[in-house]
Structures are given as C-alpha cells and as structure tokens.
Amino acid sequence: MLAELEPLANTPAAYGFVALLGLLWGSFGNVCIYRLPPTDKHPKGRSVVAPGSHCFACNTPIRWYDNVPLLSYLWLRGQCRSCKAPFSSRYLIVEAVTGLLFGLSWWFMVVAPALWLPFDQRVIHFAIAAAFVFTMVVIAFIDLDHKLILNKVTIPSMIVFYGASLLLGEHRWYDGLVGMLVGYGVPWLIGEIYYRVTKREGLGLGDGMLLAVVGALLGWRGVVVSLFGGSLIGSVLGIPLLVSQRLKSKPGTDGEPSLLKLELPFGPFLAMAAVFYLFAEPWIQLNFRLTGG
C-alpha cells in the first residue's frame, strides 16, 4: 500500500500534508511548552491532555474552530475572541518552526535518499525525524522560557529514541547506549572541571540530559557535533544577543551587568545543532560508503 504512494512523495500535495502535520504537532508542542514546566501554582507542571485550551486571561475555553494552527491566530488577529487579550506570537512561531522542520524532514528522509533506500524504510526514517524535531522544539522553547530542561521530557525521550535508533540503518545496538553515556558524561565532566577551577556552575546537568537524548538516537558522533555545533551557533547568535541585552539594561539599577552574568540557555543551540546533524548524518554515511571508509 505504501509503495503506491511513492510517486507522490515529491509533490506539493505531499509537502502540504507534511507541513500541516507539523503545524498540528507544533500546536500540541505549544501546549507542552506552556504546561509542562513547574510554576508557583503547579509545582509539578500540568497535564498536556486535560483540560482543553483556555484563554490565559479570561479562562474562556477556546473553541475547536478557534484552535486551528496558524489560521486561527491570523483570523483572530492574535486575540482572544471573548476578552481580546493578545496571544503571544510565540504560539505562531512554534507552529511555523515545527511545520518547517517537518517539511525539511520529509525532504531529507524521504525525497533525497530515494536512490539508495526503499520507500517504506524512508517513511519510517521520516517518522523518527519528525518525532525528534518535535522533541527538540519542545525542549528548546521550555529552556528558553525557564532555563530548565525537564527530566520528564528527556527520560521518556531517551527510551523512545534509543528504540527508534534500532530502526535506523547503520546503527549497532550499542550505539545509542554509548551515545547516551557520552551525551550525559561529557557535559558532566566539563561542568565538574569548570566548577573546580572557577567555583561557578557552567553547563547545567539539563544540557547533559538533552545531549543524552541526542546520543540515544544519533550516537556519540551526534553528541560531539551537537556540542561543538551548539557552541559555534551559540557564539555566532549568542554574543550579539548578550551585547544587545547589556546595552539595553541600565547600569546602576541592578548592579553592573556583565556578559558572564547575563546567561543564555544553551539548550536551544544544542537542539539546533542536533537537528542539523540529524539531517546531515545520512549524507555523511553515504559518503563513507562511497569512499569505502
């Protein structure tokens, strides 16, 4: 049955369907990002299933036709229908990013490797990639808001993605286990040394948990690429951000703001690099195979 769909894989209809799927998952991602972290009222976070979505200001339940990803935001002009409280454009960004990453996953996992992998295997790879980018989006945005990487997200993800790694070609059964160990161990070691030397916390253990998720699916190479790639992206994007934050904050009001004290969460940069490696890995493998390495 799947094989009959193969000729459609590289058509606008397929991309449209995949992007729509991404928007829907992005919409659920928003619920996770908003409800999972602990708050003063809910120290353990809240359920992502029940109750349904409510307006954060007036508590009116959001009707299903006002809960359509992307479109609802546009036709309600970003406001609650009853009380007109403005919704953050972040909802829109999370949905759009997830839709875009699902589209990219489709191209990298299903369309591009058409010459060397059977269709059903490529579709399985897409499902794994989509689950992985969704997880990275949720972790990155929670980290951005709360500077927290939650164990209740990372631990189940490690189990799921270790299982998924067994379905990816070219992965041996222990690759994911080694990846998890390196992912958690290396940041822990760096943090220990940094702490001994400077008496300050460097990398958080949450970053190690995130890298363990990456390692579970992509092995130790994925961890190394994410760590170095994340540092690179962090210094390219992060330094201008920190400088602009510093220029905006008035000295004297809250002490002397220093670049070191204005911390940016590292998780979003690690997640970006991990997604990059997810897409790049099949090409790297193919290159090794062609060159007999």
**Residues interacting with Zn ion, by CB under 5 A?**
55, 57-58, 80, 82-83, 85
Measured from the CB atom, is 52 or 118 closer to Zn ion?
Answer: 52
CB of 131 to Zn ion, least distance (A): 33
What gap in Å lies between CA 162 and CA 194, rounded to an integer? Answer: 30
What gap in Å lies between CA 33 and CA 258, rounded to an integer? Answer: 29
CB of 66 to Zn ion, least distance (A): 11
Indicate the Cα dihedral angle 102, 154, 245, 98, nearest 10°: 10
CB of 64 to Zn ion, least distance (A): 16
What gap in Å lies between CA 87 and CA 196, rounded to an integer? Answer: 44
Measured from the CB atom, is 57 or 264 closer to Zn ion?
Answer: 57
Measured from the CB atom, is 16 or 61 closer to Zn ion?
Answer: 61
CB of 84 to Zn ion, least distance (A): 7
DSSP per-residue string spanning 248-276: HSPTTTSS---TTTS---SHHHHHHHHHH
Radius of gyration for the chain, computed over Cα atoms and rounded to the nearest angstrom: 21
Measured from the CB atom, is 81 or 146 closer to Zn ion?
Answer: 81
- What DSSP character marks residue 109? I
